[in-house]
């Protein structure tokens, strides 16, 4: 990972461009539990509902080691490689 120092006056957050939105959900959907309590409850329910509507889609589950820190590089790469979409359960 490359780290750059911000050349601006830091009055606004760093903006990042979002990926293009696909028209349909196909392929694989990753669920990322950030390891806050009951994130799994939310994701279980979502997976049940989405599996009913999207029978062709496969679902993968991931969890961050701790909610307080960014996901490790290896986990980010894995999620990116194995999925077309990702749903992250934030907060509790």
Partner 1 sequence: MSMVLPPFSLKNGRGENISFPSTKATLTCVVKEDCPTCREVMPLLVAFGHAFGADLDLHILSQTEAGIGVLEDAYSPPFSMLDDASLKVSFASDIDTVPTLFYSDVQGRPLTTLVGFVRDEWQQLAAELADKMGQTAAIDWEVLPQWRPGCGSLSVDPAIADRLRAQSQNSPLRARRIEIGSQDDEFEFMFDQGFSDGLPLVPPTPERVLRMLAGSSRDPQEVLALMPPNMGEVTVEKVAINAVMAGCKPEYMPVINTIVQAICTDAYNIHGVMATTMGASPVVVVNGPIREQIGMNMKLGALGQGNRANATIGRAVRLLIRNVGGAQPGGTERSTLGNPMKFTMCFAEWEERNPWSPLHVDRGFAAEDSVVSVFTMTSGPSLIVDQDSRTGSGLAGTMGLCLESAFNPKAHYATDCLLVVVPEHVDTFVRDNYSKSDIRRRIQEVTARPIKALVADEISGTGIKASVAAAMSAEALEKRLPKFRSDDDIHIVVAGADAGKFSGAFHGWATGEIGSMPVSRKIEEL
Q: Which residues of the chain form contacts with partner 1 (CB under 8 A)?
A: 1-11, 14-17, 36-37, 66, 68-70, 73, 76-77, 80, 92
Q: Are strands 85-89 and 58-63 parallel, antiparallel or unpaired?
A: unpaired
Helix (H, G, I), strand (E, B) or coil at 58: strand
* Residue among 8 and 48 whose Cβ is closer to partner 1: 8
Q: How far is the CB of 36 from partner 1 (least distance, A)?
A: 7
Q: How far is the CB of 84 from partner 1 (least distance, A)?
A: 15
Cα 33–34–38 angle (5° rounding)? 65
């Amino acid at each position: 990972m490359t780290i750059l120092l911000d050349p601006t006056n830091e009055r606004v957050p760093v903006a990042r461009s979002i990926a293009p939105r696909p028209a349909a959900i196909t392929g694989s959907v990753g669920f990322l539990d950030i390891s806050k309590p009951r994130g799994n409850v939310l994701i279980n329910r979502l997976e049940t509902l989405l599996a009913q509507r999207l029978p062709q889609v496969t679902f993968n589950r991931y969890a961050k080691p701790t909610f307080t820190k960014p996901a490790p590089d290896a986990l980010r790469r894995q999620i990116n490689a194995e999925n077309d979409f990702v749903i992250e359960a934030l907060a509790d």
